[in-house]
Amino acid sequence: MINRIEDKTGETAEMADWTHCNICMRQPSTDVAFFLTGCGHILCKNCVDSGAADPQCKVCNQKSGVLEINRHLQPDLQEFFKDPKDLLVRYQQKLNKVFEFQSAHRKRINKYHKDLQQKATKMAQYFQNEMKKKSELERQYKMTKEQNKQLQEKITRQQEELRSYKTQMYQYQASAERHRSTQVPHYRSRSPNSTG
């Protein structure tokens, strides 16, 4: 059950059926205002006027001021008098908006990090392939260098063989020349009676 009371301006405020003055146990009506103390107690105007809240709360003996319960009550204090089901629905709607808002931003940042990860993976794959290419080029270079070395050694051996062959040829030619120069030429002898 919800009771409605008017404040001095004529505006109405909803009061739950559990609302009552914590001193006289009076419940809200249209002819008596109710007040909320800073320590969280509810007092009717009659008890407030009788000095129940001055200088301290007669319920808990704490020094406390009072605020009239009406439409002008602070929103955070008004919530204490609202139906919890209504508050739950309102909070659920607010939570849904908060969740949607945060989810959108979380999705955006997650996509950003995912894109970075994909780029990093592609970059790592690229460098890995480049390293493989470099290793293959180095292997081919070493193999070519070894082949060139072997070819150079073969050319060097052939050049040495050619020089040795030339030396032998020169030696053979020189020997043959010496041999021809040491031979005595043979002439036919003439008889005394032969005429020229």
Q: What is the pLDDT of residue 59?
A: 87
Q: What is the pLDDT of residue 39?
A: 92
Length of the chain: 196
Q: What is the pLDDT of residue 185?
A: 58
pLDDT under 70: residue ranges of the chain: 1-16, 51-55, 183-196
CA distance 63 to 49: 16
CA distance 111 to 162: 75
Q: Where are the beta strands (DSSP E) in 32-73?
A: 34-37, 42-44, 66-68
Instruction: Note the pLDDT tens digit of each residue in 90-129.
Output: 889 999 999 999 999 999 999 999 999 999 999 999 999 9
DSSP letter, residue 29: B
Q: What is the pLDDT of residue 194?
A: 53
What are the b/e assignments for 54-79, b being 16+ CB within 10 Å? eeebbbeeeebebebbbeebeeeebe
CA distance 43 to 77: 15
Please report how many Cα atoms fall inside a 13 Å half-sphere around the Cα of residue 13, on the Cβ side.
27
Q: What is the pLDDT of residue 4?
A: 44
Please report how many Cα atoms fall inside a 13 Å half-sphere around the Cα of residue 79, on the Cβ side.
9
pTM: 0.44
Q: What is the pLDDT of residue 180?
A: 81
How many CB atoms are located within 10 Å of the residue 9 CB?
8
